[in-house]
Amino acid sequence: MNPNYNHTITLYNCLRAEDTPEKKDIWYRHVLRNCFYKNLVVRGESDKGVRMTNAYTVRIPESSEYKQYHEWAKLPEELRALYFTLRTDDIVLKGECRGEITGVAPHTAAQVLNMHKPDAFRVTAISDNTNAVSGKHYRLGG
């Protein structure tokens, strides 16, 4: 095991409204251990001046608990909770979080994300690196 994979993260997967009979987003919480987590503060310049932003990288070791979104979404609810998936707009928090995203204030996705900033981000990039010779992992960026 890579010694840099020493963080616990909480991953919130969203079952999108178009994939539910109720036509509303449903969030599933998954605590994943032995992950890589990095948050860099990046300085950028634009026509609005200098701006500091956070750049996040997470690597999750290859797991039998991972399902691609289209497979995960088709699982019965009780099985879906046993697996995680990766999709843009999912939320990652550094550490173990017991809070749920219900869609009702103060537990909306945006509120949970903001409550845990700067140790939380919305996933904007995903890379499946499980075909590598060694160090097989899923990479998330935000």
What is the residue range of 134's domain?
A: 7-141
* Model pTM score: 0.91
Is 94 among the domain residues?
Answer: yes
Helix (H) or strand (E) holding 74: helix 69-74
Q: What does the alpha-carbon distance between residue 111 and residue 10 come to, in Å, rounded to a whole number?
A: 15
In this structure, is residue 2 part of a structural domain? no
Closest-CA residue to 101 (of 34, 30, 38, 20):
30
Say if residues 101 and 107 touch (Cβ distance below 8 Å).
yes
CB 55 within 8 A of CB 39: yes
Query: Would residue 132 count as lying in a domain?
Result: yes
- Residue 71 within a domain: yes
In one-letter notation, the amino acid at residue 14 is C
Does 18 map to a domain?
yes
Q: Is 1 part of any domain?
A: no
Q: What is the reported pLDDT for 47?
A: 78
pLDDT tens string, the chain, 142 residues long: the values are: 688 999 999 999 999 999 998 999 999 999 999 999 999 988 877 777 788 788 999 999 999 999 999 999 999 999 999 999 999 999 999 999 999 999 989 999 999 999 999 999 999 999 999 999 989 999 999 9
Number of domains, the chain: 1
Query: Does any domain span residue 57?
Result: yes
